[in-house]
Every structure is written in structure tokens, then in C-alpha cells.
Amino acid sequence: MTTNLTRTILVFSLSIFLFPGTTLAAESADIGKFVKARIEIGEMMMNYFSGGRNYGDDGQRPSPEAMREMGKDINTKLSQLLATHDLTIEEYRERSPEVFSNDAALENYLSEHPDLKERYEALPLDRMGRGGSSGRGY
């Protein structure tokens, strides 16, 4: 009986130490994948709308039909971009709030990758789901 109890306690103890480690490794990989995707999405969107381009010739709001076409174009480009990170639009939208909610892990990842940190911090805060409720939260 003592051997079984000792074995059970040992297995339980090891699982406490091992499983959080694999969870942290998975989260770190997710953070990297999602940070890179968010950066590329932000840069794509800034380029797409740079100088008012694709928004209307004279700064006027496009027609509803033009807005639908822009939405389709953006979703096509977004799908292609996310596919390079093995993500879909739905998966990215569903999981990104969870991935980006861990501020400590995000800051840790960015501090380890200064080139990505610079690009990440250059994104517009209000449109990237970081500091405001406007935008689609890419």
C-alpha cells in the first residue's frame, strides 16, 4: 500500500511540475505566432489605407458597394496572411484576446525580440485591440 501511495504522490507531483512547463511553452509559441500575425496585419492595413487610398477619391466615404468590395479584398488578403502562420481568420479572432491578455508573457516575448517589439509598438493602438475599443481588434 505504501508503494502505491508513494508512486501516486510522485506521479501527481511530477505532473504539477511538467504540465505547466508544456503549457508555458505552448503559450510562448502562440504568443510568437500571434504577435507576428498582428504585426503583419497592422502593417498590411496601414499600407492598404495609406494616404486615404482605398477609402475614397476625395476623402469621402465610399459607397456601400465599394465598402463591401473592400471588405472582401481585405478578408482575402487577411486569410492569405494568416495562412502563413497556420491560422484562419476565425481562429485568430477567437484566440487573440486570450493570447494577448497575458501582458507579462507578451512583454517578455517582445523584450526577447527587439525587432518585433519595435514593429509592434509602431502599430496604431486604437485599431489593433491595444488600448481602445474601436476597430476590429486585429
Crossing angle of the two packed helices 103-112 and 114-121, in degrees rounded to 10: 120
The more confident residue out of 16 and 75 is 75
Read off the C-alpha cell for 55: 477609402
Tell me: the pLDDT tens digits for 83-117? 999 999 999 999 999 999 999 999 999 999 999 99
- Write down the residue that cell numbers 489593433 correspond to: 128
* Banded pLDDT at 66 (limits 50, 70, 90): confident
Quick one: pLDDT at residue 79? 96
Judge residue 113's burial from the number of C-beta atoms within 10 Å of its C-beta, 0-12 exposed, 13-18 middle, 19 or more buried.
middle
Is the pLDDT at 57 greater than 90? The verdict is: no
pLDDT (mean) for 47-68: 74
Is the pLDDT at 129 greater than 90? The verdict is: no
d(CA 80, CA 116): 21
* Banded pLDDT at 73 (limits 50, 70, 90): very high
Quick one: pLDDT at residue 27? 67
Is the pLDDT at 82 greater than 90? The verdict is: yes
Residue 124 neighbours by CB under 8 Å, 6+ apart: 42, 46
